[in-house]
Amino acid sequence: TSGTIGLATSSTTQLGGVKVDGTSITINGSGVISSTGASLATPTTPGVLYASTITSYCNTFVGYCSGNTTTTGCNNFAGGFRSLVNNTTGNNNIGIGYTALTNNTIGAYNNAQGYQALKSNTTGNHNLAVGYNALCANTGGSCNIANGPSTLNTLTTGNYNIGFGYSSLYYNLTGSCNIGIGTNSLYCSLGTCNIGIGVNAGCCICGGINNTIIGNLPGTQAMCCTLLLGAGSCEKLRIDSSNCVC
């Protein structure tokens, strides 16, 4: 439509954007609202037609204040308490769940499903967050995938990270190009280009970079350029940064 509409009571309480003075209201085939005899007025004037200047389209907002500030953003879907409430010009976003994508303003092509998923996102694009607090702290990071409760929970501006499993990559703040698959995989990792596959894989690596750990192996805090292979928690192969095979 050309704007948003709503209904107010005969008192000064505003419930939305349309007020009627007793004359007819028509909506044409393009969804444009017009009236006979009514004039534009502030929405605090009972009994008078009022139309907003919002030019967004193809949005669906369900839930208290969801999508409340969208002006020109298009093709968004919000379902849940205050989901996408601060969105203004962001396009093609999906926020489902309590405060999902609640701080998004101009970010686009984000998909957040779960309690506070992508809650802090403002300008990040092309993120997928599924689960309780997934990518909760992300503000401007883009192209991240978080699937699982608290996955990538504290990431703020990192890009191209993938986390699958409860609390995988939990403390990663700004690191990029990490892959954590399994509960607590790369839990403390702050570095870049690390891969952890398995429960607790690489969970003790903090500032290390360029590591690959497969199995239930925690690694060490400053580990770099190391390959670890394990059978469960039993280390079977280690190739360190000096290409020493152990």
pLDDT at 70: 87
pLDDT at 243: 82
pLDDT at 29: 54
Of 128, 161, 169, the C-alpha closest to 147 is: 128
- Tell me the whole-structure pTM to 2 decimals: 0.77
Other C-beta atoms closer than 10 Å to the C-beta of 21 total 16
Are 226 and 204 in contact, with CB atoms under 8 Å apart?
Answer: no
* Interval 14-23: pLDDT, tens: 333 333 344 4
pLDDT at 133: 97
Of 119, 193, 72, 18, the C-alpha closest to 9 is: 18
Q: How far apart are CA 186 and CA 205, in angstroms?
A: 7
Are 207 and 222 in contact, with CB atoms under 8 Å apart?
Answer: yes
Instruction: With a cut of 70, list the residues of the chain below it in pLDDT.
Output: 1-56
The pair of structure tokens assigned to 183 is 């509960």
Q: How far apart are CA 95 and CA 79, in angstroms?
A: 6
Please give the distance of CA 102 from its chain centroid, rounded to a whole number: 8
Are 31 and 2 in contact, with CB atoms under 8 Å apart?
Answer: yes
Are 164 and 182 in contact, with CB atoms under 8 Å apart?
Answer: yes
What residue type is assigned to position 51 of the chain?
A: A
Distances (CA, A) of 150 to 40, 74, 154: 48, 29, 9
pLDDT at 16: 38
Q: Is the dihedral of CA 42, 48, 53, 57 positive or negative?
A: positive
